[in-house]
Amino acid sequence: MSALRIPQGTVLFRPEAECAGFVLVHAGSVKVSLTAENGREIVLYRVRPGEICLQTFGCLVNHTRYSAEGVAETDLELEVIPAGEFRRRVAEDSPFREHLFTAVAARFADLERLVEDVALSSVTERLARALLRMAGDSMMIDATHEALATEIGSARAVISRQLGAFQRDGLIEITRGHIALRNRPRLQDLAHLAD
């Protein structure tokens, strides 16, 4: 099977779409998100090399359609294993099955953390964690207020207010389309993360 190259921004699947096969991401990242009837959106997870998409797994195992949207967050290199071949490999290929089940368990743990985060953490905590996660080793983030709201499952207006508070407290500096981290240790404290 040859790898496919998919450009950033491509919608890979939408709610109610049929599943073409099991996707193996070799390079890049797929953002999987869910949109409520009121239009609010939340990022469920990202699929990177070595990880699986629970949406695709569920569709193939249960013979259902997608219920979320998957978008190429970066340029992608991926492989699609047709449904029949996927089922054959699950039944006959022990290493493939073992890797698959380990990845499913890890993804469920990610979703448990997401539910816990949304249900039990304040917007301040969730936003601080998101800023730190998105910045990585950098001190700069390129993200809109809307993208941050989607990232943590909140409303844009709430994010704008909280970002304003962070800026007034000297934790960040906001410029058009960019957020500079000014006080990483304090953001880590707010996010309840160790140094």
Q: What is the pLDDT of residue 42?
A: 82
**Mean pLDDT of all residues in 108-117:** 74
Tens digit of pLDDT for each residue in 14-38?
999 999 899 999 999 999 998 877 7
Q: What is the pLDDT of residue 194?
A: 52
Q: Tokens for 62?
A: 């249960």
Per the DSSP assignment, residues forming a β-bridge with 22 are 81
Q: Tokens for 74?
A: 């970066």
Helix axes 123-135, 145-152, angle to 10 degrees: 110
Name the helix (H) or strand (E) containing 172: strand 172-175
- Amino acid of residue 141: I
**Mean pLDDT of all residues in 155-164:** 89
- Amino acid of residue 8: Q
The Cα 94–Cα 109 span in angstroms is 23
Place of tokens 């917007």: 123
Q: What is the DSSP string of 85-108?
A: HHHHHHHH-HHHHHHHHHHHHHHH
> Which pTM was predicted?
0.65
**In 10 A of CB 29, how many CB atoms?**
17
Per the DSSP assignment, residues forming a β-bridge with 174 are 179
Tens digit of pLDDT for each residue in 58-107?
899 899 999 999 999 999 999 999 999 999 999 999 999 998 888 888 87
